[in-house]
Amino acid sequence: MDSNRPKQAPISPAALSVIIVALLTIATASVYLAYPRFHIDDKELLTNPRFEQGLSGWVIDGQTRHITEHDGTVAITHESQRYNSRLSQDICSQALPKTFWLESELKVTNIVGGNSPWQQAGLLLIAYDAEGNRIGSQDVISIDGSRDWSRYGAMITLSAMHDHIAVRARLLEASGQLALREISLRAAYKQRWSDPIRYTLISAWALTAVVLVTWLLRTYGLSRPIALLGVVATFALAGILVSKSLISSLDASIMHALPADLSHLLSSTLHAALPNYINHANQEISKLGHWLAFFLLSFIAVSLLPKARLLPLMAALVTLACASETLQFLTDERSPHIIDVFVDCVGIVCGMLLALPLRWAITRNQKRSDKPSTADTQV
């Protein structure tokens, strides 16, 4: 009886590898979503954060007519790009940690500036040494155009050498209006268990990667398509380790190198497709990189691996996209974003659709070459 039953095909090494990576991705995301690395203190570090006392406690840098307050709302308004206005507040941070949570409820209206981060509406945290020299900064947002009221926040880690810090809302070399209802700054303390769990997960990911890659290479060998996929995947994953400052510098360099019409088209297209997704100047390049990396992975996999089934192939690429975003939990300067996974998946679908005709042509040619000729059949 049992001998007549059809034998179930054992799960392939590739499918098992995808399952293992998916389980490790779920485990990593679950840990950090349930237990954040930082505890945000309840104590507000700023004076008059909701502007209930007008601009008391805040310092205006620029013409006072450009910065006004009415009913708890501060507006920084420029009629042209010739003006610079800053609203700031200094805090002595010697007894504080080096990580802070900075957030604000703000609105921008018809902001027209340049491509540089300082030529837009922005909110940032600046670190100074004991002599008053600026030694570092990081922004929560630097944008142009128009956006309705919304809250923006970021976990910011500054140099441990800072003597004091400053929160600054600014509108530099840009026209339009930046309106703020609240600016909040609170200290963030790393949880005690954070580093042990982090290094445990890093070790688990590294060990899993070495074991799976070795196993797959021994099973399937190293063909040209596999090697090409490995190179592109390595570049996609290596981007996780790049610091925010380096990424911002690369984004700005690439954006400035593009023709003005092309950069404007890229920016307007992404802002229209994904509103409130891009919160930093020149970040369109980084988001395009997300899409391009998985577009290439999908195109190469679908076109150059014609014998591989499409559904498992797409599942593997989506798992890789989720894993690459989840791994950002393990870094200090990067933070995962669910929309980045969506952008990666759009790249996967676009790559697949473009590669399908090529895959069909390759498969058809292989069938023709495998088909015996008329002379062979006569013999």
Beta bridge partners of 172: 84
The interaxial angle of helices 284-304 and 244-257, nearest 10 deg, is 90
Question: With 50 as the cut, is the pLDDT of residue 176 above it?
Answer: yes
Q: Are residues 315 and 18 in contact, defined by beta-carbon separation less than 8 angstroms?
A: yes
pLDDT tens for each residue of 315-331: 999 999 999 999 988 88
The pLDDT of residue 377 is 47
Query: How do strand 59-61 and strand 121-128 relate by DSSP bridges?
Result: unpaired
Beta bridge partners of 15: none
Q: Look up residue 160 and give its amino acid.
A: A
Q: Give the burial string for 201-225 (b: 16+ CB within 10 Å, else e).
A: beeebeeeeeebeeebeeeeeeeee
The band of 370, judged by pLDDT with boundaries at 50, 70 and 90, is low
| Percent of the chain at pLDDT exceeding 90 | 40
**Quick one: average pLDDT of 175-194?**
93
Q: Are residues 148 and 141 in contact, defined by beta-carbon separation less than 8 angstroms?
A: no
Mean pLDDT over each residue of the chain, to the nearest integer: 84
Of residues 259, 244, 247, the one with CA closest to residue 332: 244
The band of 261, judged by pLDDT with boundaries at 50, 70 and 90, is confident
The pLDDT of residue 265 is 75
Report all structural domains of the chain as residue ranges with CATH numbers, in order of start. Answer: 11-37+192-366 (no CATH), 59-190 (2.60.120.260)
Quickly count: other Cβ atoms within 10 Å of residue 123's Cβ: 25
pLDDT tens for each residue of 60-111: 998 889 999 999 999 999 998 889 999 999 998 777 888 899 999 999 999 9
Q: Are residues 134 and 183 in contact, defined by beta-carbon separation less than 8 angstroms?
A: no
Q: Are residues 362 and 301 in contact, defined by beta-carbon separation less than 8 angstroms?
A: no
The band of 8, judged by pLDDT with boundaries at 50, 70 and 90, is low
Question: With 60 as the cut, is the pLDDT of residue 6 above it?
Answer: no
The band of 5, judged by pLDDT with boundaries at 50, 70 and 90, is low
Question: With 70 as the cut, is the pLDDT of residue 117 above it?
Answer: no
Distances (CA, A) of 201 to 64, 124, 336: 52, 32, 16
- Note the pTM of the prediction, 2 decimals: 0.79
The pLDDT of residue 229 is 83
pLDDT tens for each residue of 301-310: 888 887 788 8
The pLDDT of residue 250 is 73
Distance CA 31, CA 193 (A): 11
The band of 14, judged by pLDDT with boundaries at 50, 70 and 90, is confident
The pLDDT of residue 282 is 65
Query: How do strand 67-70 and strand 73-78 relate by DSSP bridges?
Result: antiparallel
Task: Select the more confidently predicted residue: 114 or 112.
Answer: 112
The band of 217, judged by pLDDT with boundaries at 50, 70 and 90, is confident
Q: Are residues 329 and 29 in contact, defined by beta-carbon separation less than 8 angstroms?
A: yes
Distances (CA, A) of 378 to 372, 373, 375: 10, 9, 5
Q: CA 91, 96, 98: angle at the middle one, nearest 5?
A: 100
**Quick one: average pLDDT of 267-291?**
74
The pLDDT of residue 379 is 40
The pLDDT of residue 376 is 46
| Percent of the chain at pLDDT exceeding 70 | 89
**Quick one: average pLDDT of 234-246?**
74
Question: With 80 as the cut, is the pLDDT of residue 47 above it?
Answer: yes
Q: Look up residue 361 and give its amino acid.
A: A
Measure CA 346 to chain center: 15
Quickly count: other Cβ atoms within 10 Å of residue 38's Cβ: 17
Maximum Cα–Cα distance across the chain: 99
Distance CA 328, CA 152 (A): 20
